[in-house]
Amino acid sequence: MYNDGYWWSPDGLRLHYRDYAGGGDGRPPLLCLPGLTRNARDFEPLAARLAGEWRLICPDMRGRAESAYAKDAMTYVPLTYMQDISRLLADLAITRFVAVGTSLGGIITMLMAATHREWLAGALLNDVGPALEEEGLVRIRTYVGVNQSHPTWVHAARALADANGDVYPGYDLQAWLAMAKRLYRLNSGGRIVLDYDMKVAEPIRAMGTEAGVDMWPVMKAFSGLPTLLLRGERSDLLGEATAQRMAAEIGPGAELVTVPGVGHAPVLDEPESIAAIDRLLARVLHG
């Protein structure tokens, strides 16, 4: 079980997080940062396994789920998300944590490593890196900000299966239903709709194919830090060569694990993910 918490962003948005109790022996909490169109519910499988033993803080980024939508769509960018999270950490008096970042959450984790390395007791970068494959970026641009509406949860699950069958080829209807419950919500009209502000796509469209900031130097900030690099075997966003280079740049503190049979991104309940996360947390505790 978890408690719902709220905090205020620097620009006055009321934002939401889930707080799963645990870590009473002084171990650092896990700060779980979701992907672009995801939310705190994305970490339900992880929390079901670790809560109690570990404290998990799972924020809804601005414009997602129970967090307020931004007045200015151009604040839907990683630097603003990091500023929001920094305010949450200050409010909770958390000065050291293990960052668990999926996709966009991993980019936020990289920004934190670059600016506040002392905050990190460990890090998990889930299917994301300093360089992203154009194929995956094109796919993301095709679906982000495209509203969907379904009459039932089964319809939503089948739509997910149709769009993402190559990402999770082993999923059955129950697995797609579980994912639908994390991605969609029931609106006031009784329809099943995506649970994020469609305007999160605007900064991505505005940027187009323009190259962003070179993030490769940030990898050195993870050196000596327990770091897990997860990559989906079928990922179209994090290339194998990029993942190998990340591990080499970070050095001995990095473990690279490829999760077989899934694309972007592993949901952290795969056997390989579970074993790797357990190894990471053991390193955080015992060095």
Task: Give the Cα separation of 44 and 269 in Å (integer).
Answer: 10
Determine the distance from the C-alpha atom of residue 194 to the mean position of all C-alpha atoms in its chain, rounded to a whole number: 17
- Confidence (pLDDT) at 268: 98
pLDDT in tens, the chain (287 residues): 999 999 999 999 999 999 999 998 889 999 999 999 999 999 999 999 999 999 999 999 999 999 999 999 999 999 999 999 999 999 999 999 999 999 999 999 999 999 999 999 999 999 999 999 989 888 888 888 899 999 999 999 999 999 999 999 999 999 999 999 999 999 999 999 999 999 999 998 887 555 567 899 999 999 999 999 999 999 999 999 999 999 999 999 999 999 999 999 999 999 999 999 999 999 999 97
Closest to 37 in 3D by CA, of 139, 187, 155: 139
User: What is the chain's Cα-based Rg?
Assistant: 18
- Confidence (pLDDT) at 45: 96
- For the domain 2-141+212-286, what is the CATH code? 3.40.50.1820
Closest to 225 in 3D by CA, of 55, 110, 58, 84: 110
Task: Give the Cα separation of 224 and 120 in Å (integer).
Answer: 11
- Confidence (pLDDT) at 213: 78
| Contact of 273 with 230, CB cutoff 8 Å | yes
- Confidence (pLDDT) at 142: 85
